[in-house]
Amino acid sequence: MTLESILPPERALFGVPGGSKKRVLEFFSTFIAQNTPSLDSQEVFSRLVGRERLGSTGIGHGVAIPHARNPHCKSPLAGFLKLSEPVDFDAIDGEPVDLVFVLLVPEQADDAHLALLGQVAAVMNDPDTRQQLRKSETQRQLYDTLLDAIRRHASEDRSG
């Protein structure tokens, strides 16, 4: 399973209104439930918020990777949000977040799902990738930039 296979172009969202961590998670929950009939927005939201209570998913450098298990999620789903303005995400470095990569996995998540989370973190830890994502001016450009970074990272993993 690859990040590329679980992140279709329509789930890379550009210029998403921020406001607060809660608003961003609410926005994503509503969005993903509208696009995935088996998911309930309230359940997705409460699970993402529940995960945040365990500790912020803000990994630093303006990036957050909110993630949660969901019993109605048949296979992993990803979404990427570029916020119109950064929000406080209680990140480990205290920096506000403007790049949000959301991952939902089935309840019986296994090592493959942890590997997906690791891939997201590795891609988002690259300073060039973050800079290019922030420079993106359209949804298509945002998605293409993200996909290039995912593919580049995947090929480095295979060769290294």
Active site residues: 67
Dig out the tokens for 145 from the structure.
């930039």
The Cβ of residue 151 has, within 10 Å, a number of other Cβ atoms equal to: 14
